[in-house]
Amino acid sequence: MNSLDPRVNRLPQITEAVLPKAALDQFGTYEVFVQPKEGKPFQHEGIVHAPNLELAWVLAKETFTRRFTCASLYVVDTRDVYVSPLTEGDKNVYDVLPQVAEQSGSKKNFEIYHLVKRGKQHVHVGTVQAVLPQEAMHLAGKQFNHSKVVFNVWAIATDTIRFTTDEEKELWLTLPEKKFRDASDYKGGDKLKEFLEKSNFN
Amino acid sequence: MYGGGNTFEGIKTDNLAQEDPIKLAAFEARIARGEKIEPTDWMPQLYRKQLIRMIEQHAHSEIIGALPEGTWITRAPGFKRKMSLMAKVQDEVGHAQLLYSAAETLGKSREQMIDDLINGKSKYSNIFNYPTFTWADCCFISWLVDAGAIVNQLANAKGSYGPYCRALDRICAEESFHLKYGHHCVIYLASGTAKQRQMFQEALNRWWPPMMHFFGPSDKISAHTEVLMRWKVKMGTNDEMRNQFLDMYVPKIWELGFTIPDPNLKKNESGKWEYTEPDWEEFKRVINGDGPCNKERLEVRRIAEARGKWVREALKTPKMSYVTPLA
């Protein structure tokens, strides 16, 4: 190659053809949940592709929490999110979910997420104890289905989540004097004003 | 960053007749009410196809767009500029991640999208097929190409597909950093030495024609997109977007005392900008692979894919399986 960039010119020549990607070349997906501030609920932000939970957490931090404030985040394999049907209009999804009797067996915690406005993110509403995710949703209907119409519910077994440790939370602590945390920190106004006063372009 | 004008050429609406009319009417009514479409909702095949095409092109543009700016990281003038440019380039690559994810919710795998980029089947924004000769070219991109991108993206963020709109909300917030950073860079060049002013003027001369191409072919010659506007896939015509960009940024360029290389550029009495018609033959030539940097851009991606393959293979585990992302 004859690039303006010397690093590009130094790249090795790849003579063999790049074959079509095999399935899972980009790995599976993990859902990312972010807590923007202490005291605020976690909300769904999107996904990352990663080979495992640990790398999913690292990639989530890089993708979703570099520019804006963040108190904590967690990730979970997309396959571990139990999803209800999506309703519309004024139909509450809890009205269409099947009744599930209390199950016998070892209970575990499930994190419950609600979608209360189509087009917005799913937001954490609380934790229930159940044996099955269907049962968790049924219990969530009793505990968290209060006023607003809920269009969609997610139930995630807490033990499948990769949480942020207390020590890791320090990653998001920034010094008060740290600059450029906001777009408006790029202050060119004074220099522009001074320049315009000296120039006669206008 | 993103150029949104070249995505909708030659759509065929004939197959709409094969869609279930009741479902189609409900789908259109939902959009007309201002509600978002979510991945599990019914949608016409044409809507799905055009959205995949648009979001995928947008994602490719972010990945490829990182290359002409990334080339200047090692030569950025000073530590602060280097840090800011590194953060910006990382943002752009992150935007591609968000966008590929949104396209995946419509059923196209990330593997297929990357294959289609590398083998030239999918397009990306034409403007990134031009070289960045000097630091001033890099500043032009950071300020004005990102400004054009924001015009497109703010409009598209009001579109109908939920996952794309949510990705765009985040992207626009990050792009606001880029815009301010780019303007900051250009103010410093404008108020610097005669040589610095000359550098930016020359960059402006080089980049103005691709910038005018950025919003896509003129409405007079571009494909009919009425159905895509009704479905809020496309939120404005190419000329409307171009006019909005000119309205917002020509005065700022003039304010700095630079000359835009178009003697016919002026705002008419009805508030519309008049300009020399861009060279659409060049636009077509570049989009079809014959621009100054097309080969280099794709070759860099191809080499990156080939060199990273062993890492991806080493990280694969037998437990993996793929399910479509949720939202």
> How sure is the predictor about A179, in pLDDT bands with cuts at 50, 70 and 90?
low
Optimal mutation site among B296, B302, B310, B311, interface A, most CBs of chain A within 10 A = B296
CA distance linking residue A185 with residue B180, whole number of Å: 8
Record the tokens describing residue B60, joined without a space.
């490719």
Q: What separation in angstroms does the CA of A88 have from each of A91, A194, B30, B40?
A: 6, 56, 10, 12
Residues of B (129-188) whose Cβ lies below 8 Å from A: 131-133, 162, 165-167, 170, 173-174, 176-177, 179-181, 183-184, 187-188
**pLDDT tens series, chain B, 327 aa:** 555 544 445 566 767 888 999 999 999 999 999 999 999 999 999 999 999 999 999 999 999 999 999 999 999 999 999 999 999 999 999 999 999 999 999 999 999 999 999 999 999 999 999 999 999 999 999 999 999 999 999 999 999 999 999 999 999 999 999 999 999 999 999 999 999 999 999 999 999 999 999 999 998 887 657 899 999 999 999 999 999 999 999 999 999 999 999 999 999 999 999 999 999 999 999 999 999 999 999 999 999 999 999 999 999 988 888 888 888
**How many CB pairs below 8 A link A and B?**
169
Identify the closest residue of chain A to B251 by CA–CA distance: A202
CA distance linking residue B40 with residue A88, whole number of Å: 12
- Indicate the SS3 state at residue B45: helix
pLDDT at position B7, please? 46
pLDDT at position B255, please? 95
- Indicate the SS3 state at residue A155: strand
Record the tokens describing residue B164, joined without a space.
């794309």
| Burial letters A160-171, b for 16+ CB under 10 A, else e | bbbebeeeeeee
How many domains does chain A divide into? 1
Q: How far is B166 from chain A (nearest CA, A)?
A: 7
Mean pLDDT value of segment A4-32: 91
Residues of B (282-301) whose Cβ lies below 8 Å from A: 295-296, 299-300
- Indicate the SS3 state at residue A124: strand
Optimal mutation site among B111, B116, B118, B181, interface A, most CBs of chain A within 10 A = B111
CA distance linking residue B207 with residue B211, whole number of Å: 6
In a domain, A83, yes or no: yes
CA distance linking residue B99 with residue A63, whole number of Å: 12
pLDDT at position B8, please? 45
How many whole angstroms from its chain centre is CA B33?
28
ipTM over 0.95: no
CA distance linking residue A91 with residue B12, whole number of Å: 36
Q: What's the whole-number average pLDDT of chain A?
A: 91
Q: Which of B177, B180, B255 sits opposite A202 (nearest CB)?
A: B255
pLDDT at position B4, please? 53
| Helical H segments across B119-237, by residue range | 135-140, 146-156, 162-190, 194-213, 226-230
Q: How far is B176 from chain A (nearest CA, A)?
A: 6
> Domain of A46?
24-162
CA distance linking residue A143 with residue A126, whole number of Å: 9
In 3D space, the residue among B154, B119, B4 whose CA is nearest the CA of residue A18 turns out to be: B119
Fold entry, domain B14-294: Ferritin (1.20.1260)
A28–B114 C-beta distance less than 8 A:
no
A188–B188 C-beta distance less than 8 A:
yes
Record the tokens describing residue A176, joined without a space.
């008060």
pLDDT in tens, A138-168: 999 999 998 899 999 999 999 999 999 999 9
B94–A66 C-beta distance less than 8 A:
yes
Most distant pair of Cα atoms in chain A: their distance: 83
> How sure is the predictor about A178, in pLDDT bands with cuts at 50, 70 and 90?
low
**At residue A202, does pLDDT exceed 70?**
no
Measure the CA angle with vertex B51, ends B48 and B57; round to 5°.
140
Q: How far is B242 from chain A (nearest CA, A)?
A: 24
pLDDT in tens, A70-125: 999 999 999 999 999 999 889 999 999 998 888 899 999 999 999 999 999 999 99
Burial class (CB in 10 A: 0-12, 13-18, 19+), A147: exposed
Record the tokens describing residue B175, joined without a space.
């792009």
pLDDT at position A84, please? 97
Q: Map out the domains of chain B as residue ranges.
A: 14-294
A186–B177 C-beta distance less than 8 A:
yes
Record the tokens describing residue A28, joined without a space.
């599976």
CA distance linking residue B179 with residue B163, whole number of Å: 24
In a domain, A67, yes or no: yes
How many other C-beta atoms can be found within 10 angstroms of the C-beta atom of residue A78?
18
Q: How far is A129 from chain B (nearest CA, A)?
A: 24
Residues of B (80-119) whose Cβ lies below 8 Å from A: 84, 87, 90-91, 94, 97-98, 101, 104, 109-112, 114-115, 118
A183–B90 C-beta distance less than 8 A:
no
**At residue A180, does pLDDT exceed 90?**
no
